[in-house]
């Protein structure tokens, strides 16, 4: 079971590395990693389990965050009334197209690998077309918008050594384009 001690923090080189593409079929170890990453998200979103194991809540977790430099990330985005907006382990994900429209979470972003709070808007694409493989090697091409699109972009950044605060304007962290959407 993945716990906070297994998640590496800002300053460790793996978080700034370009992760390697995954080849299929996945090894038993890689399948286990995918399962463990998704289980972390499920556990972290269950208040009782999260409290018991001191898990910080997460809607995404990328392999480099557990010190594995592979292009793999678990995503579990809950919506209103027990709905799931997006759930999958995305392997070798690529944004094949995106909106010109920008969007940012109103509360800014946090990262399980970044202990300090870095306030500011992280402006990303509001809509993306995402191509990825699932753990069984099936190819998916899906359209995402708003919250799930933001989460996937945060995770894909991890696979390329980018952290959310890289996108925050140092001098004017809460300045954005008038046209950018704010997601509650
Ligand atoms: C990834 C997210 C940061 C911004 C937005 C949000 C949380 C993370 C990081 C975009 C992606 C993890 C991976 C939350 C959270 C809302 C949903 C459901 C019930 C609590 C949970 C709290 F925990 N970010 N944390 N940060 N990361 N929303 N929610 N709620 O997930 O570093 O790279 O359980
Ligand atoms: Ni993160």
Quick check: CB of 104 below 6 Å from ligand 1?
A: no
Quick check: CB of 62 below 6 Å from ligand 1?
A: yes
Sign of the torsion angle spanned by Cα atoms 24, 150, 18, 7 = negative
- Ligand 1, atom 34: closest residue by C-alpha: 45
Query: 31-64: string of b/e by CB count within 10 Å (b at 16+)?
Result: eebbeebbbbbebbeeeeeeeeeebeebbbbbbb
Quick check: CB of 125 below 6 Å from ligand 1?
A: no
Q: What separation in Å is there between the alpha carbon of 110 and the centre of ligand 2?
A: 7
- Ligand 1, atom 19: closest residue by C-alpha: 45
Per-chain residues with Cβ under 5 A from ion ligand 2: 111
Atom of ligand 1 nearest to the CA of 46: 34
pLDDT digits (tens, 9 = 90+) for 124-141: 999 999 999 999 999 999
Q: What separation in Å is there between the alpha carbon of 37 and the centre of ligand 2?
A: 13
pLDDT digits (tens, 9 = 90+) for 147-178: 999 999 999 999 999 999 999 999 999 999 99
pLDDT-derived band at 111, boundaries 50, 70, 90:
very high
Q: CA angle 154-160-165, nearest 5°?
A: 50
Atom of ligand 1 nearest to the CA of 60: 13
Beta-bridge mates of residue 105: 183
pLDDT digits (tens, 9 = 90+) for 78-103: 999 999 999 999 999 999 999 999 99
pLDDT digits (tens, 9 = 90+) for 17-36: 999 999 999 999 999 999 99
Choice from 42, 57, 151 to test ligand 1 binding pocket (greatest atom count within 8 A of CB): 57
Query: 1-15: string of b/e by CB count within 10 Å (b at 16+)?
Result: ebeeeebbeeeeebb
Q: What is each CA distance from 123 to 43, 59, 151, in whole angstroms?
A: 29, 18, 12
Check: CB of residue 15 under 8 Å from CB of residue 65: yes
């Amino acid at each position: 079971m993945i716990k906070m001690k297994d998640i590496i923090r800002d300053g460790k080189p793996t978080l700034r590395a370009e992760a390697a593409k995954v080849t299929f079929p996945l090894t038993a170890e890689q399948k286990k990693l995918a399962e463990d990453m998704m289980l972390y998200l499920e556990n972290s979103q269950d208040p009782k389990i999260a409290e018991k194991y001191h898990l910080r809540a997460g809607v995404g977790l990328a392999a480099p965050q557990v010190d594995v430099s592979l292009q793999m990330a678990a995503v579990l985005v809950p919506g209103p009334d027990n709905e799931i907006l997006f759930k999958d382990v995305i392997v070798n994900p690529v944004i094949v197209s995106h909106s010109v429209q920008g969007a940012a979470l109103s509360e800014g972003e946090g990262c399980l690998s970044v202990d300090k709070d870095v306030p500011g808007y992280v402006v990303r694409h509001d809509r993306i077309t995402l191509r990825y493989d699932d753990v069984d090697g099936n190819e998916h091409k899906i359209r995402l918008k708003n919250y799930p699109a933001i989460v996937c972009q945060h995770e894909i950044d991890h696979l390329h050594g980018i952290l959310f605060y890289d996108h925050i304007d140092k001098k004017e962290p809460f300045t954005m384009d008038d046209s950018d959407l704010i997601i509650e």
